[in-house]
Structure 1
């Protein structure tokens, strides 16, 4: 009975994900005969290797920033009630109600040469001329962090909500200060949520396209932008498929490492 109920789900996964990915990867090996030349280009060409390394580095930066910014918000959400809690939850969930394109365009308006940020800096006398904020790696990292922050906050919030308040009170009774109780009780118990949010943010950032394409420069290209370039401009589908294959392999390896290191139930914030 369970398999019958799950059949539509598996059918969607098969036809909407597995079949297209498998068909695309097959193109990377057949040109016109079976070959690994496209994958050799990805690994041996320093330009493409740099794009892969940059993609991983930017994804890591975004993940770290999301943890630093998201943990205090998630902690605050567990300490408020009523209208304040509803307001904070609405602010966290608001990005889900607008497209990534709209949020990225908003950052472009803020970061442009005559944008709000440069205007404020000039008005305060911090700088004597507008700074180059747009089309930089910093712009990409900031905008991606903003877009992906809810994916970090919600898992951490779920983990913190499952920590009984009695644990912190018990630590206080035993002589632990507020900081020590947080560092030795709450923080370790919240790590499943932190790891869950980190893997969600990191793996999503690896394949990000809209934000790097609009806010980054050609010198700061990420792998999704490179794939788009190979398909739309160069028309080199086999090589683009090889890039997708390398990215898919990397994502799969990261997911397997996390699944082996942390139980799935703990990743989802379960108290089991």
Structure 2
């Protein structure tokens, strides 16, 4: 059972491509095929075990390619086509202004990492920004093409960004990439590299405290079931022991240290409260839990 809940499956992660291209055109291909789970197939085994960078990237790209269609059906209404939402609580960027006032986004070069169907990038474009949407999953980016938008879609690895140094003014990631990578510092350093001096990177992840609780929306999800300090990855694997989904846990202190060591300055840490209007319940997310324990942590970082 996931310690995080299905929202982390909202977005995204990495797949390796060449580095330091300056292209701003879509580079996704239409010829790839996707494995689908056959009816009656054995459900993956959920476990906690080590999983390295290559295994995590391979598993998560496959998971998102296989499940993108179902995901967009299930969560597309909540996300909208051009809404910038930071997490399941429903905190909207137009209200939070974590990237800055909307009127100041005009003309800014913005990289969205783990973009999924590029809802956030589409909102940024509507504010006059010049976004680039990057994701590991080809299938998710096909949904971005389906919805539309006049900005580049890049299928690439968050740990090897295919952009020149100092290409962007801002970067953002709403539940994208960082929960799924074995080495978050690699991603953070790459983001710092492609940002210009003074650039801001804002990213959200499942709040680390959620890893200590069962992934249940009701009262059974309010009692600590495992050690918060156990950083062993959560893995779903097939009958041969091959990972088909991987998520990595970092404590709150780990996240802060990762940010500092990677050359960023943490300027804010936002823990959204569950709003009264949000009556949604899915997986481990619910008004009951949301009103008692945080579900999302948003880190606002700046490059000096």
Q: TM-score, normalised by structure 1?
A: 0.26
Structure with bigger strand share is 2
Higher helix share: 1
Q: Radius of gyration: which is bigger?
A: 1
